[in-house]
């Protein structure tokens, strides 16, 4: 079974629109971390954020914000006032204390921001 599900395969928005990327995870571990990565056309995955299972406080960083809800096992990522430079593939990932170094990645959401 897929531990991390990113149901949105591709999204297109017009510049300055807001967009939310969904991430749903599955785990039985009580201690785990969730991550978001950005993969621009250059190919390198860039770490964006890490959130642990005990911290449900939402986080905002500039135009980026993350909504972590354990009740729905979701860790959604919102980009406000999107820009062309936001065009990339975004991956959500899960790591669990009981499985150590194993990271589980979603299949990614390809975001295209149209100027």
Least distance from other proteins to the Cβ atom of residue 3, Å: 11
Nearer to other proteins, 19 or 23 (CB): 23
Q: Six-digit token pair at 110?
A: 């390809």
Least distance from other proteins to the Cβ atom of residue 106, Å: 6
State which of residues 45, 64, 78, 80 lies at the interface with other proteins (CB under 8 A): 45
Establish if 41 lies at the interface with other proteins (CB under 8 A): no
Are 23 and 75 contacting, i.e. CB atoms less than 8 angstroms apart? yes
Residues 6+ apart with CB under 8 A from 53: 29, 30, 31, 32, 33, 34, 70
Q: For residue 77, give Cα distances in angstroms to 51, 60, 66, 96, 97.
A: 12, 10, 5, 20, 23
Least distance from other proteins to the Cβ atom of residue 63, Å: 21
Q: For residue 80, give Cα distances in angstroms to 53, 65, 66, 108.
A: 25, 8, 11, 19
Binding to other proteins by CB under 8 A, coded x per residue (else -) over 77-106, reads --------------x-x-xxx-xxxxx-xx
Interacting residues with other proteins (CB under 8 A): 9, 32-33, 35, 37, 42-47, 50, 52, 91, 93, 95-97, 99-103, 105-108
């Amino acid at each position: 079974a897929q531990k991390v599900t990113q149901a949105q395969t591709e999204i297109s928005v017009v510049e300055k629109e807001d967009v939310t990327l969904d991430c749903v995870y599955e785990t039985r571990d009580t201690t785990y971390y969730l991550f978001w990565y950005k993969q621009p056309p250059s190919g390198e995955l860039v770490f964006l954020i890490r959130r642990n299972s005990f911290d449900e406080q939402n986080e905002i960083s500039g135009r980026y914000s993350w909504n972590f809800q354990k009740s729905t096992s979701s860790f959604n990522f919102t980009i406000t006032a999107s820009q062309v430079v936001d065009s990339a593939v975004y991956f959500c990932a899960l790591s669990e204390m009981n499985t150590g170094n194993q990271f589980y990645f979603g299949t990614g959401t390809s975001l295209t921001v149209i100027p």
